[in-house]
Every structure is written in structure tokens, then in C-alpha cells.
Amino acid sequence: MTTSEFHDYYEVLGVKPDASTDDIAAAFKRAANFWHPDHNKSAAANRMMVLVNEAHRALRDPTKRARYDQGRMAGPTRPPPGKAPQRPTQAPPPASTTPRPHAKAPQQQPPTTSVDRRFMAKWGSHGSGDGQFNSLRGVAVDGQGPVYVADSGNARIQKFSGAGLFMTKWGSSGSGDGQFNDPDGIAVDSQGNVYVTDRLNHRVQKFSGAGRFMTKWGAEGSGDGQFSGLYAVCVDGQGSVYTVDIGIDRIQKFSGV
């Protein structure tokens, strides 16, 4: 990894671009504790620890942060932290308009359908600790960047930054509010609320982005609002909730409750 490679340091630390200095300091401590190679044995730990330190150096100082923000907003060509974007000192010479004798017309190239899928990051391993998974199922991303994962075998939801930094978790095995019996599908609405299909409890549960239980609905059966094989869930732009019931082959639509 070279220092000229650009990284979104706000995403690395799991904070928003308008985060305060105190928020950045607290996020750095969490990230450094999570990724430190002394207790994080994943293959990505060393690389992420370097990024976490780089992010802290770039964002803790107001002057460096202002320069970084300037480069971050400059567009596709982004400079490394601490350096303002450079502009060309001289315009390139105009192309010659004199036709060359016997020049052949350029041949049109057929359009390409290939897409460059550049690997960006990965995280997780088998287990029950923070950032580990047991029978990983659904995943959803909200508009601010955090990633929510339905960790079915551990009967919980885990929340990460877009760079894979563990942020929080909630849930346990059971049928009470905030408990799960095979959490499967997961979705996030425009307000950051999280919907989880609790399959074997035959219900949908709704939480805040921090994991606070808000409401639930559903029961076992084939009537309206009941479920037999609750599977996936999604939310549209108006807040309506759609569920997939593979047990009785149907879609149901609900208000955002």
C-alpha cells in the first residue's frame, strides 16, 4: 500500500464527515482496539490498523483535515491527505487540424461489456465474538454507510462501518422483544430503521439503527399478516414494507408501522 492511494478516512473510522474532534478521537480508540493485531488475528488486521492510524493523523488536526476534505470533495482524482489538489500550470497544446495525406479513418471499436470489479475489503470469520458470524444470512446498508448483518446462528444483528469496523450488536435466542429464532432477511428504511424477519417466530421486528426495539407484527398461519415461511424483507422509498413468505408462496405489503 502506498501513501498516494486514496481512502475515505471517515469511513475507515466509522464516522460522518461532520463528526466533531471528540467523536473522531473516540472512533479512533474503538477502531484501534478492534483492529490491533495483538488480539485481532484476521488477515486484514495489519492493513486496517495502518489505515486507522492514517485516518487519525489526517483528521485529528484541523489544518490537515481541511486539506483532506478539500481533496475528498475534488472528485475522482483525489490527492493523498495533507496535500491540496494540484492544478495544471499550462494548458496542453491544441491538436493539429492539418489533415495527414492518405490517413485512414479510425475503426470503431465494439462496445465492451466487461466491468472492473475491484476488490475493496472483507471481514469476518466463524465464531460468536464481535465481528464473527455463525450461519450468516441477510445484509443491508443504510444511506449513511453502516452495514447491518443478520447473524442467524448467533441469533443477533451486527452493525459495522462501511470499512468493516464493528460498531454494535443486539439480540439473543428467544421469542421476546428483541430476541430472535433464526433471523434471516434484513432491510433499512430511509430513516435508518432496521427491519428483521424473525423466521421461526413468524414475525417481523423493527428497530432503530442503534438496536432499540420499536415494534413487531406477525403470527404463524396463512391469513393476512400471518407467516408460514418468512424469508426476505425490503422497504421502498415511501416506507412500505414487503415480505417474502416461501412457505405459502406469497408477497405481503405492510405500512412502515
- Sorted by where each starts, the structural domains of the chain and their CATH numbers stand as 9-72 (1.10.287.110), 136-254 (2.120.10.30)
pLDDT score at 116: 66
**What pLDDT is recorded for position 3?**
39
- What residue type is assigned to position 52 of the chain? V
Note the pLDDT of residue 111. 61
> What does 83-140 look like in DSSP terms, one character per residue?
SPPP--SSPPPPPP-SPPTTPPPPPPPPPP-------------BSSSTT-BSSEEEEE
How do beta strands 241-245 and 230-235 pair? antiparallel
Neighbours of 194 (CB within 10 A): 26
C-alpha cell at 17: 464527515
- pLDDT at position 40: 77
The predicted structure's pLDDT at residue 68 = 87
Mean pLDDT by 10 residues, the chain (257 residues): 61 87 86 78 79 87 88 58 46 52 58 70 94 94 92 97 94 97 95 96 96 96 95 94 95 88
pLDDT at 134: 95
